Amino acid sequence: MEQVETAFNPAKYGEFSPDPVMEITLPSLADPALAPAGGCTLSALVQYAPYRLKAGWETGKPAFLRIVLETLERHAPGIGTSVVAASLMTPVDIEAEYNLPGGHWHHGELQADQLLVNRPTGAASGYTTPIEGLYLASAGAHPGGGISGLPGWNAARHILSGERA
């Protein structure tokens, strides 16, 4: 818990952590077509990168990628010699590529004012929207991202129930 708090603190001041928290997945284990024969694809969700980096992402991005790779190396010694390519998407990149305001992969913060009937807004909570036949079933809907599939499951249950609100 202390490491998570310590990793979050720099983001409050427009900086990235020198020891970031990461969620690591190896998607090519489930789908070998994602990597060349004998290789593996690693995806790291690096927590608490600020949207507005004090130093600017143009100069900060290479430094942050270096820190991410050094952190991986510290926890998996030797991994650095097997990396043939690396790509880092900053919150600004995520916003531009996926149209997620603020580059937040949860489509908003997972905090009290953006949960339950407030997710994503009161006008579009409960999976329905003001547009007939349009429902929310992504990380922007309750309970948010990180709980794989639950917003979609809940939206489907709501649709099948026949309720409108």
pLDDT at residue 90 greater than cutoff 80: yes
* Cβ neighbours for 48, distance < 8 A, ≥ 6 positions apart: 7, 8, 10, 11, 16, 17, 20, 21
Q: What are phi and psi for residue 25, nearest 5 degrees?
A: -130, 155
The pTM assigned to this predicted structure is 0.75
Two tokens at 108? 């908003």
- Per-residue pLDDT tens digits for 30-88: 999 999 998 999 999 999 999 999 999 999 999 999 999 999 999 999 999 999 999 99
Burial of residue 64, with CB atoms counted within 10 A of its CB: 0-12 exposed, 13-18 middle, 19 or more buried: buried
Whole-number percent of the chain with pLDDT over 90:
55
Phi-psi region of 50 (alpha: psi -120 to 50; beta: other; left: phi over 0): beta
More confident residue, 10 or 134: 10
